[in-house]
Chains A and B, each alone.
Chain A
Amino acid sequence: MANLNIDNVKDRTFDAIVIGSGMSGGWAAKELTDKGLKTLILERGRDVKHNIDYPTTNMYPWEFEHRGEMPMAVQEANPIVNRCYAFGEDAAHFFVKDNDHPYVQEKPFDWIRGYQVGGKSLLWARQTQRWSDFDFEGPARDGFAVDWPIRYKDIAPWYSYVEKFAGISGNKDGLAELPDGEFLPAFPLNTVETYFSEHVKNKYSNRHVISARCAHLSKPNQIHLDQGRVQCQKRTLCQRGCPFGGYFSANASTIPWALKSGHATLRPFSVVQEVIYDEKLGKATGVRVIDTNTKEAIEYFAKIIFVNAAALNTNLVLLNSTSNRFPNGLGNDSGVLGKYVAFHNYSAHINAEYDGFKEWTTDGRNPAGGGYIPRFRNVYKQETDFLRGYASGFSAYRYQQRPWDGVGSSLKDNLVKDDLSGWKVGSHMMGETIPKESNYVALDKTLKDQWGIPQLKISVDYDDNDEKMKKDYIEQLTEMFTTAGFTNIKASSDHRAPGLDIHEMGGARMGNDPKTSILNKWNQMHAVKNVFVTDGASMTSTSCQNPSLTYMAFTARAADYAVGEMKKGNI
């Protein structure tokens, strides 16, 4: 199967290889090429060029045969990805279908994937909240996982660095638990969201409802125009790919930026089989890919390797990279590779109505989605019977509901006239989960994918802490809703499998001690100094804030360190 043409080794040799072209891989590519490194970007799926490959982006609702809904046959064939809110007629082409890339669910896990250039950065919900020392000090304070090898001060300048380029809208809210950043103007809270924000501020000293911070160009700066991106037009059709580049995606931003440098080579259709480790040199020398069109195995070589295949696939690549030195996966001296996987608990919601402010409504659409309630539980000290806490989304909107009896012109007149009812309000939970050894991924011993690579076996579940936290979320939000005068309050718990949050993290965690972690404080492998992991796999704990912005910051920081080390001759 190998077709290794030794004559062209030089053509297959780069300064750096980046595995993956999504949220973090795009950043690795941008940073490495900005610093002049000849960089190969490997993507297992097809290319998706900004604008050119967004086939539905300008379609009207009536141009979709099923008006956005997926036909039943597609739904039945894809029970997993069909559970994702964004899997619809307008964006289904950016999602992995269940049968195309099977995996083993030792416990139910909805693994939502995007195999194309840009990965899931095309599809994300664009929420970008910084993590704080209440997150980075969490494991040490509360006695779980291992201590983060960094603190907020280490990552803060890198948050600023990536925020300026990506374009993050938000207010400077002055909250210790949710540090401020380099913000473009925030999208405003609407009338009822503002009312609730004021109510919460008056009633609770430590609870805040703020405008959600999101990766949208509310008012672009020159650096965004230089990327070919312009102001967000509030279409809120983001999952189709944005012709304006109004939100941050690798496709609109980092990947074309890297390619423009002249130092990047993008190779789609290249699934990475393993990272090649040279026992004599004591470092990784390259990667072996399989061309998914020709099935040919090809080796590429580089001094630095960034693994950014998305959290669980990064684990798969590392677990499958075995050698005499590393029989259990690359850099896995500690035995923790694949373990301590965690996620975010999104399984509770609460909805209600509000009868006031009927003289107000909204105009246009809010790409930020509304309000955000930072974690208020166990922030400064342990105060509940569960560890950690949850952030909450909060939004309000006017709705229209009226009798629809009968048929004919009176029915039609009744339905088309603008006669809004009151407001509906809703919140969803975003809970931190505790990384545990028993929540893990591993290579299946027998099942292989179509390229002969072992399938990933996923064994991740909720625990008692998650249940207690969920109960508290429902109690606290119910109280906040009740005292705000909301009515018809309905809390629900949807028993979703882990994974549907699309915030899976860990498996190749950072830590101070090589005996209990895979990566050091620079996202650099303890045992293989020229390999860096800067996607979700590297996370020691999950916080309850959305993770993408943190991946971006870690990636830029690690790239800066890696190039410095390379120039010093250390790697």
Chain B
Amino acid sequence: MNRRDAITRVGLILGGTVIGAEFFMSGCKSSTSASGVADLSKPEIVAFLDEVGETILPATTTPGAKAAEIGKFMGVMVTDCYTEADQKIFLKGISDLDEASNKKFGKKFMEADAKQRTELLTALDAEQKAYTKTKKPEDPNHYFRMMKELTLLGFFTSKPGATQALRYIAVPGKYDGNFPYKKGDKAWAT
């Protein structure tokens, strides 16, 4: 087990690449230093990202992304682990998302209700999926793919995500190489 497990696991779930994975996985190839293009720890940004995350992975019978402090996590990861170019895309993505909300509902994302938020992000997800499918490696990433990936990564490695939405055990104490598999229980966090 090593540091790439969390990233790899989310990558496997997503069945493909994770933004930033090129340096998450193999060491950084960028020459630009990630000094932080903006302060993503501002309360209004954290609150905004919390709601984006919660819309992507909402509380159901188990906690949602907000309970995992997903807004704070996204800010830390973008600031510390993204290239400067990706940081700028992410930052602009916050206003792009608001703009898309305005266009669709005549109000900002934070003012939209849960149903509208879901509708908007479902559309943005389809947009990023179509864009990512045809984009060349050198083309810019889509901000909503970043938000979605970070939400999944942050949530499934968080305490509520790993221990309540998924199953997590710190000390297995055993290894059985031939264990009958019964579908239907919660997936394992690690």
State the A residues within 8 Å of B (CB): 60-62, 65-73, 75-76, 79, 82-83, 85-90, 187-191, 193-194, 233-237, 239, 358-367, 398-409, 411-413, 415-420
Looking at B3, B6, B157, B174, the one whose CB has the most chain A CB atoms below 10 A away is B3
Known: A400-B12, A408-B55, A415-B152. A82 touches B122 (CB 8 A): no
B141 within 8 A of A: no
CB distance B81 to A61 under 8 Å? no
B13 interface neighbour in A75, A235, A404, Cβ under 8 Å: A404
B71 within 8 A of A: no
Known: A407-B148, A408-B118. A418 touches B180 (CB 8 A): no
CB distance B122 to A408 under 8 Å? yes
CB distance B180 to A72 under 8 Å? no
CB distance B170 to A69 under 8 Å? no
B112 within 8 A of A: no
CB nearest to A78 among chain B residues:
B27
CB distance B28 to A82 under 8 Å? yes
CB nearest to B58 among chain A residues:
A409
In the complex the two chains form, what is the Cα distance from A363 to B175 in whole Å?
6
B146 within 8 A of A: no
CB neighbors of A among B37-60 (8 A): 55-58, 60
Binds A, one of B90-98, B101-109, B181-189: B181-189
CB distance B27 to A75 under 8 Å? yes
Q: Give A419 Cβ to nearest chain B Cβ, in Å.
A: 6
Known: A69-B3, A75-B23, A404-B13. A60 touches B170 (CB 8 A): yes
CB nearest to A396 among chain B residues:
B177
CB distance A188 to B177 under 8 Å? yes
B181 interface neighbour in A62, A79, A361, A399, Cβ under 8 Å: A361
In the complex the two chains form, what is the Cα distance from A361 to B175 in whole Å?
11
CB distance A72 to B125 under 8 Å? no
State the B residues within 8 Å of A (CB): 1-7, 12-15, 23-24, 26-28, 30-31, 33-35, 55-58, 60, 62, 64, 68, 76-77, 80-83, 118, 121-122, 125-126, 129, 148, 152-154, 156-159, 162, 165-166, 168, 170-181, 183-190
> Can you give 23 contacting A-B residue pairs, CB < 8 Å?
A61-B189, A62-B157, A67-B154, A76-B31, A79-B27, A86-B2, A88-B4, A193-B177, A234-B172, A361-B179, A361-B180, A362-B175, A362-B177, A364-B174, A402-B15, A407-B122, A407-B125, A411-B56, A411-B57, A417-B184, A418-B185, A418-B188, A419-B187
CB distance B171 to A70 under 8 Å? no
In the complex the two chains form, what is the Cα distance from A278 to B77 in whole Å?
58
Q: Give A361 Cβ to nearest chain B Cβ, in Å.
A: 4
In the complex the two chains form, what is the Cα distance from A498 to B179 in whole Å?
39
CB distance B175 to A367 under 8 Å? yes
Give chain B residues whose Cβ lies under 8 Å from the Cβ of A233: 171-173
Give chain B residues whose Cβ lies under 8 Å from the Cβ of A408: 55-56, 58, 118, 121-122
CB distance A71 to B34 under 8 Å? yes
Q: Give B35 Cβ to nearest chain A Cβ, in Å.
A: 8
CB distance B1 to A236 under 8 Å? yes
Give chain B residues whose Cβ lies under 8 Å from the Cβ of A403: 15
Known: A62-B158, A407-B148, A416-B165. A364 touches B175 (CB 8 A): yes
A364 interface neighbour in B57, B80, B176, Cβ under 8 Å: B176
Give chain A residues whose Cβ lies under 8 Å from the Cβ of B180: 359-361
